[in-house]
Every structure is written in structure tokens, then in C-alpha cells.
Amino acid sequence: MTELKQIDYDIDKDNPVPFYYQIQKRIIEAIENSVWKPGELIPSERELSNSFKVSRITTRKALERLMIEGYIKKIKGRGATIAKPKIQEQLFNKVIGTFQDLKESGYEITNKILDFNIIVPGLEERIALNIVEGENVFNIKRLRFIDGEPYHYSDIFLPVKIYPDFKPGFLENESLINVLETKYGLKIYRLKRVFFPTIANVQEVNLFKIKIGSPMLTFSNTAFLKDSTPIEYTINIIRGDMSKFEINISLDKVEDISLPINK
């Protein structure tokens, strides 16, 4: 039997908020307050049901949601443990790549090149890179691991005319941004990122070893030089259960954009 640490097991039975959601919030509070710590086994479904005085179906639903959101993870033959804290990135307000962000945060990062080819790109890639039909690009598919966990998949497109001798090994231990700058003297001046939430499909289940329907964050990256020449287009897929993202918003440089009123 797992030790029942002191958390608030008293849920409000008169509250219209579903019981499973109240249980979920109690457990999240215990994790965020370090009452339950990463790697520790949590009480069993039966023990939690007894403590919260609810049915096992209700407890199971709360645990399933906690697993999908990345707060707990199942260990075969042992039960469920508290997951590591989510990886915090600043994709929304920095030109710097995720590789550098994560290294500076102390994570162990490894990259695996899954595929490397010279291809004729589709319409979406041609428009993003501003190249003509029939022009070749390097296509690199890469999977990034954080502390041994598959975390970030990238489908990268680079115009051959800009990188005539590009090798897949360039990206095994380095970020794409650093490779473009150190090997080709190309400094990215501007990035266009388009974000949209998705759920894991069959391909992503196999890549990341997660359940189908798990939350994912997909975003495209188009990198430009100072003269607005596009030099890279990438589709990125990041695990939502391992991530959180920081956005800094400042009014310091916001001008008065109020519309004139016609009288």
C-alpha cells in the first residue's frame, strides 16, 4: 500500500463541478506544492477512491485526465508515478531555437535523424520558401529526445541552391539555427511561426510512444534573412503532455492605435 500523504481529500459533494475534476485539481495542487514529487508512486485507484469517498469510476476518470495532461505516467507493473515537470519554452516571443532554450535549462538533448532526401517539394513548401516549381530542397526528418524521452519531431525543408553541401550529420548534435549561422554565415533575422493544437495520430503514437489522441502542439517555422529571403521551412510537432509555453507581453512600445471616430 502506498503512503497516503496529507492532501485535501475533502471534495464538495454539493458543488456542481464534477467530482473527477475536483479530484484532478486536488492532485495537481499536491504536485505543484511538492507534496507529491516527480518519480514517486501515487496511491492506487482503490486507495484514492476510499480517501475521496467516491466510486472507482470517478477516480479512474480523474487519473486518465491527469495522464493525458502529463501530470502522471503509468509504469508497467508498478502503478502510476508523478511525471517530471513540464518543459518550459518561449516559442512565442524569441527567435532563438528550442535547442538552445533547452540546453540553457539543463536538459540532456539528443537528436536522431530519421530520414534525409533531396526532393521536389509540394506547393505549401514552395510558397513558404519562395521557390519555383521543380526546384529541389533537402528534406530532413528529425526526432529530438529530452532526457531520453522523444519530445519534438521536425520535418525540415532547405533549398539546395542555398545549402549545396548540406549533410544530415550537421543536425545530430546541433540546432538548425546554429548550423545555418556557423557553417553558412546565414543569420536569421525574422521568424514566422504559425501554431495550432492537434491530437496524436497513428504516426505520432509510434514516434513518441504515447496514446492516440494525446495533446500535441504543431507549428510551422519560416526563417528569413534581413532582406526577407526565406531560407528554411519546418513543420514541428511537440508533445503537449511534456510542454508549457511562456508568453511575455509588454505595453512599453505599444502605440496609440485607437480608430478615429467619424462625426
Q: What is the pLDDT of residue 32?
A: 81
Q: Over its length of 263 residues, how does the chain's per-residue pLDDT go in tens digits? A: 444 456 778 888 888 889 999 899 888 888 888 888 888 888 888 988 998 899 999 999 998 888 877 788 777 777 788 877 766 655 555 555 566 666 666 778 889 999 999 999 999 999 999 999 999 999 999 999 988 889 999 999 999 999 989 999 999 888 888 899 899 999 988 888 888 888 999 999 999 988 888 888 898 999 999 999 999 999 999 888 777 666 665 656 545 444 444 44
Fold (CATH) for 87-245: Chorismate lyase (3.40.1410)
Q: What is the pLDDT of residue 43?
A: 85
Q: What is the pLDDT of residue 75?
A: 75
Q: Grid cell 511562456 — which residue?
A: 246
Q: What is the pLDDT of residue 212?
A: 87
User: And the C-alpha cell for 110?
Assistant: 539528443
- Let me know: does 137 contact 122? Beta carbons within 8 Å: no
Q: What is the pLDDT of residue 6?
A: 63
* Cα dihedral across residues 212, 196, 102, 156: positive or negative: positive
User: And the C-alpha cell for 151?
Assistant: 519530445
Q: What is the pLDDT of residue 234?
A: 95
- Let me know: does 109 contact 146? Beta carbons within 8 Å: yes
Q: What is the pLDDT of residue 42?
A: 85
Q: What is the pLDDT of residue 250?
A: 61
User: And the C-alpha cell for 178?
Assistant: 546554429
At 8, give phi and psi (nearest 5°): -80, 100
Q: What is the pLDDT of residue 129?
A: 96
Q: What is the pLDDT of residue 98?
A: 62
Q: Determine the CATH number of domain 19-82.
A: 1.10.10.10
Counted residue by residue, the chain has a size of 263
Q: What is the pLDDT of residue 233?
A: 96
Domain layout of the chain by residue ranges: 19-82, 87-245
At 192, give phi and psi (nearest 5°): -110, 120
Q: Which strands, in side-by-side order, build the sheet including 137-146? A: 109-119, 137-146, 149-159, 230-239, 215-224, 190-199
